[in-house]
Amino acid sequence: MKPVLLSLMLAAALPAGLLAQEPAKPETAAEIAATATALAKQAQNPVADMVSVPVQFNWYTGGGLGDETMQVTNIQPVFPLGLDQDWLLVARTIVPVVNAPAPFGERSTGIGDIQEQLLLTPTKTSAWVYGFVPVFSFPTATNDALTTGQFALGPTFVILTMPGKWVIGAVVNNLWRIAGSDNTTAINAFFAQPFINFNLKRGWAISTSPAITADWNAPSGQEWTVPVGLGVSRVDRIGKQPVSLSLQYYHNVVRPDNAGADVVRMQFTLLYPVTRPKK
């Protein structure tokens, strides 16, 4: 009797054991495409619960630059921190590396002032997503042509909505000098970046996200920079690593006399989706 019972127990247990040892099934093309589309919408959300490392390259030419080119590379790591089950703090550090024309045919290269954005956003899903809290600017410039020598602080606000294939919203902030050098013009700078993304299949998207700026201390008629343009982006994988690639072109329809008229922006982003335990 015992051998029979033992045989029955082994027979019952064997399929489960074999199933447990089977390797995970590879993703289908449809599953890969659906994952890419979902990641694309996350990557377009400035307050998404996702670690990312964007490196953004901006080339400016024409206008006040003439035939010369200025390059600004922004390294912008983003780290979300779950404060509790209701709130998420998203930290975004912006490190600008500038290479600009200088007198006598030379180039001026160095790090500009580093900014830190801390965005507080609710974790609960709703039709509208928002985030707020401060932006800090630190006098970290390594080149005299880029130096302000000032600490600055101001409010930041983000709002967006993601109906269907769309991700639409804006980031707005203003910085004011709070301490530091009195030998340079006091920082009083406005920044607004509206963004519109229409997501296609397989992680592709058509998008626009112009960086609108104003220097409130500039002479009359020289305060605003207003770009108009658009581009394309795609979320894909390098091996198993999700990445986002984008290319955009903008023309500054309003600009200071010495600013570039045309901007080409290329961005490469490493994406690390976050999985948090349910509470």
Split at pLDDT 50, 70, 90, the class of 124 is: confident
Over range 186-214, report the average pLDDT.
97
Percent of the chain with pLDDT over 90: 75
- 167 close to 199: Cβ distance less than 8 angstroms: yes
| 2, pLDDT greater than 50 | no
What pLDDT, on the 0 to 100 scale, is given for residue 276? Answer: 72
Q: Which of 136, 154, 84, 148 is nearest to 112 (CA)?
A: 148
Whether residue 279 lies inside any domain: the answer is no
User: Which range among 124-138, 177-191, 222-236 shows the weakest confidence by mean pLDDT?
Assistant: 124-138
Split at pLDDT 50, 70, 90, the class of 277 is: low
Residue 258, judged by CB atoms within 10 A of its CB (0-12, 13-18, 19+), counts as exposed
Whether residue 12 lies inside any domain: the answer is no
Cα–Cα distance, 178 to 98 (Å, whole number): 24
- 92 close to 54: Cβ distance less than 8 angstroms: no
Over range 150-178, report the average pLDDT.
97
User: Per the structure, how many domains does the chain have?
Assistant: 1
Whether residue 261 lies inside any domain: the answer is yes
Whether residue 83 lies inside any domain: the answer is yes
Classify residue 164 by its DSSP letter.
Answer: T
Q: What is the pLDDT of residues 148-163, one digit of tens each?
A: 999 999 999 999 999 9
Full domain range(s) for residue 76: 31-273
Over range 91-97, report the average pLDDT.
97
What pLDDT, on the 0 to 100 scale, is given for residue 37? Answer: 84
| 170, pLDDT greater than 80 | yes
Q: What is the pLDDT of residues 249-261, one digit of tens each?
A: 999 999 999 999 9
Name the helix (H) or strand (E) containing 76.
none
Please give the C-alpha separations between residue 199 and each of 39, 142, 249, in angstroms, as whole numbers: 11, 39, 18
At 38 the three-state DSSP class reads helix
- 123 close to 135: Cβ distance less than 8 angstroms: no
What pLDDT, on the 0 to 100 scale, is given for residue 101? Answer: 92
What pLDDT, on the 0 to 100 scale, is given for residue 14? Answer: 40
Over range 242-247, report the average pLDDT.
97
Over range 105-109, report the average pLDDT.
89
Structure tokens at 230: 């658009």
Cα–Cα distance, 36 to 71 (Å, whole number): 30
Whether residue 21 lies inside any domain: the answer is no
Over range 193-205, report the average pLDDT.
96
Whether residue 23 lies inside any domain: the answer is no
What pLDDT, on the 0 to 100 scale, is given for residue 5? Answer: 44
| 6, pLDDT greater than 90 | no
Q: 128 vs 11, which has greater pLDDT?
A: 128
What pLDDT, on the 0 to 100 scale, is given for residue 9? Answer: 42
Q: What is the 3-state secondary structure (H, E, C) of 206-268?
A: EEECCCEEEECCCCCCCCEEEEEEEEEEEEEEECCEEEEEEEEEEEEEECCCCCCCEEEEEEE
Percent of the chain with pLDDT over 70: 88
What pLDDT, on the 0 to 100 scale, is given for residue 23? Answer: 56
Q: Based on C-alpha coordinates, what's the Rg of the chain?
A: 24
CATH number, residue 230: 2.40.160.40
Whether residue 22 lies inside any domain: the answer is no
What pLDDT, on the 0 to 100 scale, is given for residue 16? Answer: 43
Structure tokens at 209: 């996200």
Phi, psi of 4 (to 5 degrees): -65, -45
User: Which range among 33-37, 208-212, 261-265 shows the weakest confidence by mean pLDDT?
Assistant: 33-37
Residue 85, judged by CB atoms within 10 A of its CB (0-12, 13-18, 19+), counts as exposed
Structure tokens at 266: 């290329």
Q: What is the pLDDT of residues 8-63, one digit of tens each?
A: 443 444 444 434 445 556 677 676 677 888 899 999 999 999 999 999 999 999 99
- 250 close to 243: Cβ distance less than 8 angstroms: no
Whether residue 246 lies inside any domain: the answer is yes
